[in-house]
Copies of this chain bind each other. A is one copy, B any other.
Amino acid sequence: MQIIIAEESGFCYGVKRALELVDEYLKKGLKFDTLGPLIHNPFVVEELKSKGVNPIDKLEETDKKYVMIRTHGVPPEVYRRAQELGITLLDATCPFVSRAQEAARKLSEEGYIVVVVGKRDHPEVLGILGNVRGKAYVVCEPEEIRSLNLKGKRVGFVCQTTFRHDVFARCVTEALKVVAEIKIINTRCHTTERRQNSVLKIADETDLTIIIGGRNSSNTKRLYELASMKGRAYHIESPDELKEEWFENAEKVGIAAGASTPDWLVEKTVEKIKSFERRS
């Protein structure tokens, strides 16, 4: 059995950077928590806890002087609230997300009605929305555009960094039927695109694909969706979930990992699959 790992797989730039910042601050002797789980992977979150870095839901919950903002970013009011509470924020917002926040702010300052294409309750989307100074909407499918009153309006579009290109484009297409003007700042992260193409490629070349990543990770779920379109695919959070029968008669197995999945989880997954082979 041949195991092929997707070319673009595992930690993305923003996640790597966030974890490097954690190490850097810990080395400096800083004690801090993270506002929400730092990244969408339970193993990484557990590892951080063991180092004294705990996820909190609200700034008020911490007993430390420092709190880290995770890759998804936060709305501006969190920065204001931190100041009121005397908490120093350590900002691990992914630079691509910061760019999306700035884009939304700029569009609203230029007088555009802002449409954020993304998941309504995703923390990144809430952070982007918080930066809009005028009217704003969140849509996650083209049909929703029709119910907004955009006829003859000037509309500014941004996109959740990891959102689907095709849905983003279809939302723009729908708006184009009625609006006077559209300005789109392309806030999709290019890694996402490459990662998704990479999964499609290995799913095409193999008999089944294993997608590794947190159950609450949007980008991992999307990788699973794409792989399923091409053939048999399984989404696991941990190698323990692998089942021997999945690999019966399989000659080629593809593996891809979400943007929050550490390399060691990929390695353990490969080992486990190989152990099935030895047994058979």
Q: What's the minimum C-beta distance from A186 to chain B, rounded to whole angstroms?
A: 6
Taking CB atoms, residues of chain B closer than 8 Å to A274 are none
A183 interface contact, C-beta 8 A: yes
Alpha-carbon gap, A172 to B182, bound state (A): 11
Closest chain-B Cβ to A102's Cβ sits at a distance in Å of 12
Residue pair A179, B183 in contact (C-beta under 8 Å): no
Instruction: Judge whether A268 is part of the interface by a CB distance below 8 angstroms.
Output: no
B176, B180, B181, B193: the one within 8 Å of A172 (CB): B176
Cα distance, A168 to B168, chains bound together (Å): 16
A165 within 8 A of B: yes
**A5: CB under 8 A from chain B?**
no
Task: Return the contact of A184 from the options B165, B170, B182, B185 (Cβ within 8 A).
Answer: B182
A120 to B182, CA, bound (A): 24
The quantity of this chain's copies bound in the complex is 2
A183 pairs with B181, CB closer than 8 A: yes
CB contact under 8 A between A169 and B165, given known A182-B184, A186-B182: no
* A181 touches which of B177, B179, B180, B184 (Cβ 8 Å): B184
Known A169-B173, A172-B173; judge A183-B186 contact (CB<8 A): no
Inter-chain contact B176/A185, CB cutoff 8 Å: no
Interface string of A184-202 (1 = CB under 8 A from B): 1110000001000000000
Cα A177 to Cα B169 with chains together (Å): 9
Please report the C-alpha to C-alpha distance between residue A193 and residue B176 in the assembled complex, in whole angstroms: 12
Per-residue 0/1 for A217-251: is the Cβ within 8 Å of any B Cβ (1 yes, 0 no)?
00000000000000000000000000000000000
- By a beta-carbon cutoff of 8 Å, the part of chain A in contact with chain B is 165, 168-170, 172-173, 176-177, 179-186, 193
